[in-house]
Chain A
Amino acid sequence: MSNVTRDRLLFAAAIILAGIYLFPLYWMYITTIKSGSEMFATPPTFWPTDPQWQIFGNVWQGRNMGRYIWNSLVIACGAVSVIAVLGVGCAYVLARYRNIWVDIGLFLILMLQVLPASLMVTPIFVGFSQVGLLNYPRLAVILAIAAKSMPFFVVLVRATFMSVPQELEEAALVDGNSRVGAFFNIVLPLARNGILVSVILIFMQAFGEFVYSKSMIQAVELQPASVGLNSFMGPNTNEWNNIMAYAAIYVTPILAIFVLLQRRIVSGLTSGALK
């Protein structure tokens, strides 16, 4: 078998696999604009005969999606800010000092990453209700998400900091800068890309977070879009096109960010890891 045929076969396999992965996404978008009867037609249609574009406006209005998306944004931005401010400092220390305590710290951080949210939610709920945090449910969710995503962020950003040579910092010190000045002037600008990528990744996680929000936020007007989508679905739901429209509105911005930045995200993820 020649190289060309082999390449073509592999390419075909890649296309098929990508098709399988992307099919649900395609189905979501296509179902959105189908009419009620077309949705349940057998055999199913792969392209709607009568696209219902007005459904997006209807769902946005009818489900009060603006409020849900706003809550999602508040929660995601809050969590990302907390993680970025605390995590960058933590990652820097873990990158620059090497001793047994740092190793233990890293191990614990990775351990935390193993625990699933659904396991952690009960103790967190009890703890938060003890200290009265549940009176500020969005803040409570922000803190819970921050605790959950912090390890991931710290591990990624630590790798970024490790790729910044220590000599640059030393040069800045000899050039007359302080430790703190050297960090903000030299290290932070050089680690910026890696930090940005990690921020985007945890933002996307936090934007779609469900378990903590569902259990801690009872008031409908404070719930994020993920919980809103869930409450849309009852046991006898059949308005799949509306649900799919909701989902489409919810994920399209995230998808767009990811597609626009995917080159940077992939290079940011591997640059620290390969060194």
Chain B
Amino acid sequence: MTAQIELTNVNKYYGAYHALKDIELSIRKGSFTALVGPSGCGKSTLLRSLAGLESISSGTLKIAGEVMNAVPPRKRDVAMVFQSYALYPHMTVEENLTYSLRIKGVAKAERKKAANEVAAVTGLTHLLGRYPRELSGGQRQRVAMSRAIIRHPKAFLFDEPLSNLDAALRVHMRKEIRALHDRLGATSVYVTHDQVEAMTMADHVVILRDGIIEQQGSPLELYDRPANKFVAGFIGSPAMNFLPAIGGQDGQSIILDLGVKQTIAINRAVRPGQALSIGLRPEHIELAAPDQGALSAPVALVESTGATCFLTMATTPELSVVFNGRSGARAGDRVGLNFASGSIHLFDAATERRVPG
């Protein structure tokens, strides 16, 4: 359980712009870590700093126990898969794969052998003689991966490698990358803006916003116990519902105001009168008969994919509900809504932090 990559108090400035703020991150050897966040959050900058393509302004960056702050990319022994794949257009697939070996001075016969081995694993054997422009998007993606694999690096860095693929291929490659990671026992850092990718692929998810790590942990930890409103809203699809509420007088309940005031008992300590924001995941709300739920609201929109049904309620703010199966409800109908008090997430309205308990 040793840390393969360790960042301590890392900061990065572009002139006056503070791109990474006090990053503390420890990446376990053999783990799959996803860096996720909206665009401009610093996730790519962080990854490029690991590769050495950006220099960090302060703090320490260790890879396999060695301080790498001022070490140029070529001496870090990490492999990177770029969003655009960055295949060398003037080289064949085989030359692309073996480029790093050629620079290292590996003999030609050995390079060929290594290329054949990797190509067999990634299914590129029949494409070794082609040029990148003669390949499809998925094939290029595989070449980019293979170029990284052939080096047996200390860490794999992925910079949104799937964002140029169509939806079906993306889901397929997701599994393939994860399977490859497990087979190679590699350490992988994966940047994405797609939380589904992060949740499904990674052991450890790091959520960034404006250069700050908002929360990190296992995917389910983030789903079950988001540290703040941003993480709660970012993880999960469709996104979590947020409703304004205030703390009840007994300190054990909250008062929800959806047109009609409603008191809900809750097993957490709140300050009486505290402005709160309650979070309810759409999948944690159940439909009930119109007058039997904890809440009652008119339906604005029903969308069904066949297996799953999405309901949007005509409330302010809008509430969305999702469940498996089908619903007889139609737009305009009034339905009751039920939820377990344990599934309520409580956030302070001012600080947006999770209310403990």
Interface residues of A (CB under 8 A from B): 165, 167-168, 170-178, 181, 186, 189-190
* Bound CA–CA A181/B157 (angstroms): 22
In this complex, the member of A165, A170, A174 whose beta carbon has the largest number of chain B beta carbons within 10 angstroms is A174
Given contacts A177-B74, A178-B74, contact A171 B103 (CB under 8 A): no
B103 touches A177 (CB 8 A): yes
Residues of B within 8 A of A175 (CB): 74, 79, 99-100, 103, 147, 151
Find chain B residues with CB under 8 A from A168 CB.
Answer: 86, 88-89
Q: Which residues of B contact A178 (CB under 8 A)?
A: 72, 74
- Tell me if A170 and B53 are in contact (CB < 8 A): yes
Q: Is the CB of A174 within 8 A of B88?
A: no
Q: Which residues of B contact A177 (CB under 8 A)?
A: 74, 103
Contact of A171 among B76, B78, B86 (CB under 8 A): B86
Contact of B90 (CB < 8 Å), options: A165, A176, A189: A189
A171 surroundings in chain B (CB, below 8 A):
80, 82, 86, 88
Chain A residues closer than 8 Å to B53, beta-carbon distance: 170, 173-174
Kindly list 4 other residue pairs between chains A and B, CB separation below 8 angstroms, not including A167-B86, A174-B73, A190-B90.
Answer: A173-B74, A175-B100, A175-B103, A181-B103
Tell which of A167, A178, A181, A189 has the most Cβ of chain B within 10 Å: A167
Contact A190 B103 (CB under 8 A): no
Contacts of B52 in A (CB 8 A): 173-174
Q: How far is the CB of A138 from chain B (nearest CB, A)?
A: 37
B157: chain A residues within 8 A (beta carbon)? 174
In the assembled complex, the CB of A98 is this many whole angstroms from the nearest CB of chain B, namely 13
A176-B104 contact given A170-B53, A171-B80, CB 8 Å threshold: yes
Partner of A165, one of B76, B84, B99, B100: B84
Residues of A within 8 A of B83 (CB): 167
| Shortest beta-carbon distance from B102 to chain A in Å | 9
Interface residues of B in 50-81 (CB under 8 A from A): 51-53, 72-74, 76, 78-80
Question: Please, which residues of chain A bring their CB within 8 A of the CB of B89?
Answer: 168, 190
Distance (Å) between the CB of A195 and the closest chain B CB? 14
Smallest CB gap from B159: residue in A? A167
Q: Chain B residue with minimal CB distance to A182?
A: B74
> What is the size category of the interface that chain B forms with chain A?
20 to 34
Measured between beta carbons, the chain A residues less than 8 angstroms from B151 are 175
Known: A170-B53, A171-B80. A176 touches B103 (CB 8 A): yes
Please name all residues of chain B whose beta carbon is closer than 8 Å to the beta carbon of A189 when the two chains form the complex.
Answer: 90
* Chain A residues within 8 Å of B78, by CB: 174
Contact partner, B80, options A174, A181, A186, Cβ 8 Å: A174
Cross-chain contact of B86 among A165, A176, A181 (Cβ < 8 A): A165
Most buried by B among A168, A171, A181, A189: A171
Contact sample, A vs B, 9 pairs, CB 8 Å cutoff: A165-B86, A168-B88, A170-B51, A171-B80, A172-B99, A174-B76, A175-B74, A176-B104, A177-B74
Q: How far is the CA of A269 from the CA of B76 in the complex (A)?
A: 39
> A190 to chain B: which residues have CB within 8 Å?
89-90
| Bound complex: CA A177 to CA B53 (Å) | 12
User: Please, which residue of chain B has its CB at the minimum distance from the CB of A169?
Assistant: B86
Query: What residue of chain A has the Cβ atom nearest to residue B74's Cβ?
Result: A176
Q: What residue of chain A has the Cβ atom nearest to residue B157's Cβ?
A: A174
Query: How many Å lie between the Cα of A168 and that of B88 in the bound state?
Result: 7
Compute how far the CA of A181 lies from the CA of B105 in the bound complex, rounded to whole angstroms: 14
Q: Tell me the bound Cα distance from A57 to B208 in angstroms.
A: 79
Whole-angstrom CA separation of A178 from B104 in the bound complex: 12
Chain A nearest CB from B35 CB (Å) reads 17
Question: In the complex, what residues of B have CB within 8 A of residue A186's CB?
Answer: 88
With a cutoff of 8 Å between Cβ atoms, the chain A residues found around residue B147 in the complex are: 175
Instruction: Tell me which of B51, B73, B80, B157 has the highest count of chain A C-beta atoms within 10 A of its own C-beta.
Output: B73
Nearest to A168 among chain B residues (CB) is B86
CB distance from A272 to the nearest CB of B (A): 16
Out of B86, B103, B104, name the residue touching A170 (CB < 8 Å): B86
B90 near A173 with CB under 8 A, answer no
CB neighbours of A170 from chain B (8 A):
51, 53, 73, 80, 82, 86
A171 to B53, CA, bound (A): 10
Query: In whole Å, how far is A168's beta carbon from the nearest beta carbon of chain B?
Result: 5
